[in-house]
Amino acid sequence: MSCAMQDPVEGTEVSTSPLLLELIREAIADVHLLRGRALLALIGIAIGTAAVIAMLHIGHTARVESMRRFQSLGIDRLSIVAVGTTTRLPAIPESFVHMLLQPSFGIASAAPIVSAGTTLHVGRQRIGATLIASNDQLFELAKADFARGRAISDLDGFAPFVVLGAGIAREVRAATGQEPGPGDQIRIQDQIMTVVGVLEPTEQNFVLNLDLSRSVVIPLMAARRLVSASAVSISRIAAKFSAGVDGAVASSAIAAAFRQQVPQGGALQIQTARQLIASVDEQVRIYSLLLLAIGAVSLIVGGVGVMNVMLMSVMERRREIGVRIAIGARQQDIVVMFLTESMLLSAIGAVVGTIIGSAVGFAFAKISGWTFSPAWAALPLGVGMSVCVGLFFGLYPAVRAANLNPIDALRAE
């Protein structure tokens, strides 16, 4: 149902729908006459809108990608690290690792870790790697699959067995021209080790602080073969919570148990996947707000450009305004006329900016190797901000035009 209003000249009722269309047509014609100035105002609004839209898309995509990465690494994983003074780092007793598997701690599996830097001697080449001594639970916790062979095991005892990460295996193949596999001999430092397995390419695990691709893994008891006696101590544990366990409560219980078992000093730093997710989520939120604020500043600068264009338009069209007032146009009619023009400029700029901003967000995701995930709030928020800016910065020129003295306006050249 269309509303009706009284025509100020004839006194007859006219439909608001044709009147609105006529108002928009006039606004389009007036904006077209502005040409270069209108184009500059459009560019300002488009850049501001594009900045807002792009930042919203990029922030949302980064958050989704972070969540996906952590989901793939294991949301129930945790890393337990011994911390102490700068001169003394407490060792984690192996008995403590076994104690963690009691049901009261809520730990489903755990892998003690002894780590150190090492060197592989392949022909005349030396390959730097991280040496990890652990048990077979490590591979399940890190979600590492085997390309060939098997995992090391507690049953291997002191045996000189080693599992090669995918990156190390690739460098060995480049040095020897042959694919390393189970049964091959390889020299690590001054020890000859037998390869029992080679891993598939594995993502770096930020929760457990493991990069198995650049590591060689040996049985825990065999650590004394390659690590000095003073360094053979468990410094951290990779673990997994049981289903339904409260991570914060379990972490507190584990830390308290360690203080009781190792009373001579030192503590545990427990980092869970959920803690990292919360931290990353907070950082992404802060960066998104910061970038959104930068985009909003760009949008405001574009709004100032719209206001300048409309003020110039008012100065150039004083005679037209005087004629309109003389034939019966009310102040609100003049305000609506100029507001329509400023809103039209903002709307066109918002549409162009939305397209550009979405394209930038999509391109950034592809360049980063992410899956583009659009922020559904970007469209209404970006366009809404643009329209509000156009309304705000167009109001002053519109009111100034409506308050012109019709006699002075008619005398204007």
pLDDT for 184 equals 92
The number of beta carbons lying within 10 Å of the beta carbon of residue 403 is: 10
Q: Is 410 within 8 Å of 321 (Cβ atoms)? A: no
pLDDT for 171 equals 93
pLDDT for 213 equals 93
pLDDT for 263 equals 59
SS3 call for 106? coil
* Separation of alpha carbons 211 and 360, rounded Å: 32
In a structure prediction context, what are the per-residue pLDDT tens digits for the chain, which is 413 residues long? 344 444 444 444 444 456 556 556 665 555 555 555 667 777 778 888 888 888 888 888 888 887 777 777 778 888 888 876 555 666 788 888 888 888 888 899 999 998 888 999 988 889 999 999 999 999 999 889 999 999 998 888 889 999 999 999 999 999 888 899 999 999 998 889 999 999 999 888 888 888 999 999 999 888 887 876 555 688 889 999 988 888 888 888 888 888 887 756 667 888 888 888 788 778 877 877 887 787 778 778 878 888 888 888 788 777 777 787 778 778 887 888 878 878 777 888 888 888 898 999 899 989 988 888 888 877 787 778 777 887 888 888 888 888 877 666 666 55
Residue type, 86: T
Q: Is 206 within 8 Å of 272 (Cβ atoms)? A: no
pLDDT for 26 equals 60
The number of beta carbons lying within 10 Å of the beta carbon of residue 109 is: 17
What's the predicted TM-score (pTM) here?
A: 0.66
SS3 sequence of 139-177: HHHCCCCEEEECCCCHHHCCCCEEEECHHHHHHHHHHHC
pLDDT for 29 equals 57
* Separation of alpha carbons 48 and 297, rounded Å: 7
Q: Work out the end-to-end distance of the chain between its first and last CA atoms, rounded to an integer number of angstroms.
A: 43
pLDDT for 85 equals 58
Long-range (24+ apart) CB contacts under 8 A made by 102-105 are 103/242, 104/253, 105/250, 105/253, 105/254, 105/257
* Separation of alpha carbons 71 and 87, rounded Å: 37
* Separation of alpha carbons 108 and 139, rounded Å: 14
